[in-house]
Amino acid sequence: MGAPRWILHLDMDAFFAAVEQRDKPALRGLPVLIGHDGPRGVVATASYEARPYGCHSAQPMSIAKRRCPQAVVLPVDGQRYREVSQQMFAILDEFSPVVEPLSIDEAFLDLTGTQRSLGEPAEVARRLKDRIQSELKLTASIGLAPNKFLAKMGSDMNKPDGLVIINPQDIDRVLLPLPVSRLWGIGRVSAAHLEEMGIRTVGDLRQLSIERLQRYFGSDAERYYNLSRGIDERPVVPDQEAKSIGHEQTFPADLGDADDVRRVLFDQVQQVAYRLRKHGMMAKGVSVKIRFGDFQTISRSTTLHAATDLTTELWQAAREMFDRWPFQPVRLIGVTAERLNTGGESLELFPDPDRARQRKLDQLADHINEKFGKQTIRRGGADRTHGQR
C-alpha cells in the first residue's frame, strides 16, 4: 500500500435546472423540469424544488407533470450547459493537475500530494466550492475521501451544496450501515437477491467469505470484497491520459432529420477536436456511435491516414461514417477520437498548405473561445453537407 490518497469527487447540483434558474431569476425557488415537453419527452433533470413531488431524471415528462402540475418546463439547452461545464472544468484544472471528467457536471480530482502547493485537501474542497459559487453562481456537492468509490458516495450524501469528508478512520462508520444497493454495480435485482439471503447492508456483505462472494458474484467477487471494506485502488485518470476523448448525446425523442443529426455530430466533433488540441493530443482513429429509435447501439470506426487534431479532418471521417448508414430517426449520436498520442507524428516534412490553413483556423477559434467563453465560435461546416448523401 502506498501513501494514503485524497480523492475529491464533485457533482453539480441539479445542473441543467440550476443553470436555467441562475440565468432566469424568475424561476428561482420554483419547481423546474428540464426536458422535451411532448408526449414522448423525458425529464433530463428536476430542480430541487420539484424533487419532493417525486420528479426526477429519466422519468417520462408526462408523469413528472402529473406529479407537479405547477412546474415550469424548459427544453434542454445543451450548448449553454456545455459552456458552463467548460467553465467548471477550467476551475477544476486550477485545483489539481489530475482531473478526470466523468460527465458534463462531474469529475474526480486527485489531491494526493498537492498539500504543499494547494493546501490541506479539506481546505481545498471548501475553496473549490466557494470558487464555483462566486464565479459560476452555482452550487456543487463534493465528497473527499481516500478513494474514488468513497468520494463519489460522499458527494451524494449531502446534496445539494454538500461537503462530506470521509477520513480513513470514518470509513466503517459511514459504510457499514449503508444498504448494499449503494455499492457501485449492485442494481435493484442483485440487491433483492441479497436481501432474500438476509444481506441488506454493506456490513452484512462484509461478513461473507470470498468463497461465498464468488458463488454470488463470480468474477466480480473480489471487487465486492474490497468495496465492502472501503477499498478501491482505481486511479484518477486525467484527460491527457485518456485513451479516447468523446462526446455523445441522447435525444429526448428521435431526431428525424438527417441534417439535424449531422449538426449535432459536427458540434460534438468540434468539442472533441478542441479537447484534443487543449491537451496536445492527436487521434489516429475516429468512431461514431449511433442508436436508431429503440434499436441497439452500434458504432463504426475508421483509421485516419495520419494522426490529427484538425476539426476538419475529424469531421470528414465522422461524417463519412455517419453518411454510410441508411438514415433512420436517431435517438443517440456520439463521436470519439481514439488511439491518441501526444502528437509526435504531427511533424510534417512537407507541410500541406491546406492543413496549415486549417490549423490556423482552429487556433483562432480556440483562442477566441478561450478569451470570450468557450464555444463562442462555431464553424458552419455541418451545413455544407446539405444534400450530399
| Interacting residues with ligand TTP (CB under 6 A) | 11-16, 44-45, 57-58, 104-106, 159-160
Annotated active-site residue 135? The verdict is no
Pick one of Mg ion, ligand TTP, none as the site partner of residue 16 (Cβ within 5 to 8 A by kind): ligand TTP
Name which of 268, 259, 264 is nearest 287 in CA terms: 268
Name which of 157, 140, 159, 164 is nearest 22 in CA terms: 140
CA-based R_g, the chain, Å: 23
Among 102-110, 246-254, 287-295, 378-386, the segment contacting Mg ion (CB under 5 A): 102-110
Q: Least distance in Å: CB of 54 to ligand TTP?
A: 14
Q: Which is nearer to Mg ion, 14 or 208 (CB)?
A: 14
Q: Which is nearer to ligand TTP, 16 or 225 (CB)?
A: 16
- Grid coordinates in use for 131? 470558487
DSSP letter assigned to residue 230: T
Q: Least distance in Å: CB of 38 to ligand TTP?
A: 16
20 binds Mg ion, rule: CB under 5 A? no
d(CA 287, CA 270): 14
3 state SS of 241: helix
Pick one of ligand TTP, Mg ion, none as the site partner of residue 160 (Cβ within 5 to 8 A by kind): ligand TTP
Q: Which is nearer to ligand TTP, 104 or 317 (CB)?
A: 104
Which residues does 245 contact at the CB level (< 8 Å), separation at least 6? 239, 272, 275, 276, 279, 281, 283, 336, 337, 340
104 binds Mg ion, rule: CB under 5 A? no
307 binds Mg ion, rule: CB under 5 A? no
Q: Least distance in Å: CB of 251 to ligand TTP?
A: 10
Q: Which is nearer to Mg ion, 105 or 239 (CB)?
A: 105
Among 35-43, 105-113, 194-202, 238-246, the segment contacting Mg ion (CB under 5 A): 105-113
CA–chain centroid gap for 77, Å, is 16
Q: State how far the alpha carbon of 335 is from the alpha carbons of 32, 264, 266, 268, in Å.
A: 30, 10, 9, 7
Residue 195 exposure: Cα atoms within 13 Å on the Cβ side:
10
313 binds Mg ion, rule: CB under 5 A? no
Residue 300 exposure: Cα atoms within 13 Å on the Cβ side:
13
49 binds Mg ion, rule: CB under 5 A? no
Binding residue (CB under 5 A) for Mg ion from 20, 100, 105, 110: 105
Pick one of ligand TTP, Mg ion, none as the site partner of residue 104 (Cβ within 5 to 8 A by kind): ligand TTP
12 binds Mg ion, rule: CB under 5 A? yes
d(CA 320, CA 262): 11
Q: Least distance in Å: CB of 348 to ligand TTP?
A: 40
Q: Least distance in Å: CB of 12 to ligand TTP?
A: 5
- Grid coordinates in use for 322? 455517419
Pick one of Mg ion, ligand TTP, none as the site partner of residue 214 (Cβ within 5 to 8 A by kind): none
Q: Least distance in Å: CB of 125 to ligand TTP?
A: 17
**DSSP line for 157-203:** HT-SS-EEE--GGGHHHHHTTSBGGGSTT--HHHHHHHHHTT--BHH
Which residues does 123 contact at the CB level (< 8 Å), separation at least 6? none
Pick one of ligand TTP, Mg ion, none as the site partner of residue 58 (Cβ within 5 to 8 A by kind): ligand TTP
d(CA 9, CA 98): 12
d(CA 161, CA 172): 24
Candidates 106, 120, 123, 233; catalytic one: 106
Q: How many CB atoms lie within 10 A of CB 269?
A: 27
Pick one of Mg ion, ligand TTP, none as the site partner of residue 235 (Cβ within 5 to 8 A by kind): none
Q: Which is nearer to ligand TTP, 105 or 362 (CB)?
A: 105
Pick one of ligand TTP, Mg ion, none as the site partner of residue 20 (Cβ within 5 to 8 A by kind): none
d(CA 239, CA 167): 27
Q: Which is nearer to ligand TTP, 104 or 164 (CB)?
A: 104
d(CA 35, CA 52): 18
Binding residue (CB under 5 A) for Mg ion from 6, 10, 11, 274: 11
Q: Least distance in Å: CB of 17 to ligand TTP?
A: 6
| Interacting residues toward Mg ion by CB under 5 A | 11-12, 15, 105
| Catalytic (active-site) positions | 106
